[in-house]
Amino acid sequence: MNKIGFAMSMLLALIGVLLLSGGLLLQSVLPKLGRMAFSIGGGSYNPSDYDLGVAFYMQQVIAISCIVVGSILSRRFCKTDGDH
């Protein structure tokens, strides 16, 4: 078992999970913050101005890629040295 490779691949998967959860959290909170800002300052609120579905597409692709690659590499590094 390559402990350094296993730890780094698990770190890559963890970074992917953090990126994905942070992006999804921002996607759900930002429209609510926009609504609050317009209600305080006055003006018209348009929910489509705060729709981040397309803007975070690449970020979600990178996060999912990190999770998948990290999981595959951790499985590979977890195998014993004689199993190559």
| 2-53 pLDDT, tens digit each | 889 999 999 999 999 999 999 888 888 887 887 787 777 677 777 777 776 6
Contact 34, 46 (CB under 8 A): no
pLDDT at 14: 97
pTM comes to: 0.76
Domain count, the chain: 1
Q: Decide if 14 is inside a domain.
A: yes
**pLDDT of 1 strictly over 80:** no
Contact 69, 8 (CB under 8 A): no
Q: Decide if 44 is inside a domain.
A: yes
Q: Decide if 68 is inside a domain.
A: yes
Range of the domain at 38: 3-78
C-alpha to C-alpha distance for 21 and 25, rounded to whole angstroms: 6
C-alpha distance from residue 47 to each of 18, 32, 35, 36, 61 (Å): 26, 9, 8, 12, 24
